[in-house]
Amino acid sequence: MHPFEAMAEPVRRRIVELLASGEMTSGQIAEVVGSEYRVGRTASCKHLRVLRNAGFVDVRADLSWRWYRLADRGIDALEREVVDLRVKWARRSGWDAESTEKFDPLAAPPPYAASWSVPFRGPGRPARRGLRGRQTDIPAAPDPEQGLYQILPMPMRLYAGEMAGYNVPLIPLSSGYDIPQLGYGVFKVPPADTERVVLDALELGYRHIDTAAIYGNEEGVGAAIAGSGIPRDEIFLTTKLWNDRQAGDEPHAALEESLRKLGVDYVDLYLVHWPAPANANFVNAWKKLVAMSEGGAVRSIGVSNFLIEHLEQIESETGVLPAVNQIELHPAYQQRDVVAWCEARGIRIEAWGPLGQGKYDLFGAPAVHDAATAHERTPAQVVLRWHIQKGNIVFPKSVKTERLRENADIFDFSLSDAEMAGIDALDPGDESGRVGAHPSTLN
């Protein structure tokens, strides 16, 4: 097979990129490209065979596995073809690569490409061959910077700390650190299942995990992080101080306990879980968190479920505002007054229960249903996309791998202004959409 033909498919270029970092089994390769390009294991193996036939990949077998590795033959052949094409073009057109820096005629298919037995797979490739890992919608005017054939951005590849293919924005916090806008929350995940589901999330590429002392599953989160092999500084980890540990020096003891259970030296974000105003300890707890932020065990500090009156009190007594306020927020209950107060002061909003916890028919709402139909997405994806476009930080929960993947696949489409306004209008404005406890009464 001609080297250009072998490397025309984005899936194959991704496989070569993976193997450049070391040997992998076909199963490991299939898991990565399957999540990124939505191709099955059989299709992944076919792409591997094409690369082997073209000389890009070799295979080594031991007693248990067949290991694939990058070979130099195909790369060398591709480089020779590039040189040969440039020489041929120079002869035919008089073009000089040394004196012409801004335009390369080889960015377009050469006239003689039509005579090849294998079609030239560059910008001249037929447009729109489908969405399952193939090049689509190639621009008519090639970008001279792209060279012989355009390598379009891969359909779903992720952040500044790369997630398995999803472009998750990093939101700057007032503390100077960045937080991934999409994460995975473990509220109500059974402790026995936590390690498995968090490992699944990390393998899919999630790098933001939200837990709490009261959830009872910090040990499982810690075991998953330790077993993932992912460097600690690539994972953004949040936990929270429970209400009965707000008094005296209890916040320090509670943090040490959480660090021990999580098996880490620091957390990226530590939150006061609820104001619990009847206990009259949340200001003391906040002062302790401010002191913690000056050490090395906590990078950013914030609050959860704080109303404006609680925020004003900690500001007046400490002069320090939280980096984050994690509040109940979903289409039927948007807490616009709290959000506006926080946004005016640089406090980021995290939305817990972003899908309403299934306590009302959110997905049946016409605004959500119609947008899902228009974009060929699930209602959950539409609502999560609404949160992303509002600027909220979200961490939906699921124990199903396919749902985890679905929740992350929300960065390659956008809702229109009309669709956003339709979902905005689902909040009646009278707090009747609240599905959780009220911060003024939960103690």
Q: Is 229 left (phi over 0), alpha (psi -120 to 50) or beta?
A: left
Cα–Cα distance measured from residue 158 to residue 162, given in angstroms and rounded to the nearest whole number: 4
Q: Nearest to residue 380, comparing CAs of 398, 393, 392, 390?
A: 398
Contact 360, 379 (CB under 8 A): no
Predicted confidence at residue 420, as pLDDT, reads 96
Name the pairing type of β-strands 348-352 and 324-328: parallel
Which residues make beta-bridge pairs with 272?
Answer: 241, 303
- Structure tokens given for 321: 């505002």
Cα–Cα distance measured from residue 371 to residue 384, given in angstroms and rounded to the nearest whole number: 12
Phi, psi of 350 (to 5 degrees): -105, 135
Residue 84 neighbours by CB under 8 Å, 6+ apart: none
C-alpha distances in Å from residue 27, one per residue of 24, 40, 41, 272, 403:
8, 11, 7, 43, 21
Is the C-alpha dihedral spanning 142, 145, 150, 154 positive or negative? Answer: negative
Cα–Cα distance measured from residue 254 to residue 260, given in angstroms and rounded to the nearest whole number: 10
Give this prediction's pTM: 0.64
Is 215 catalytic? The answer is yes
Location of structure tokens 């037995």: 117
Contact 57, 71 (CB under 8 A): yes
Query: Tens digit of pLDDT for each residue in 230-274?
Result: 999 999 999 999 999 999 999 999 999 999 999 999 999 999 999
Ranges of the chain with pLDDT below 70: 1-4, 62-64, 86-166
C-alpha distances in Å from residue 366, one per residue of 326, 355, 371, 410:
28, 15, 8, 20
For residue 118, the tally of other CB atoms under 10 A from its CB is: 13
- Structure tokens given for 132: 């399952």
Active-site residue, selected from the candidate residues 149, 159, 206, 215: 215
Q: Nearest to residue 438, comparing CAs of 251, 277, 301?
A: 277
Angle CA 164–168–174, to nearest 5: 135
- Structure tokens given for 176: 């100077």
Query: Tens digit of pLDDT for each residue in 101-122?
Result: 444 444 554 444 444 443 434 4
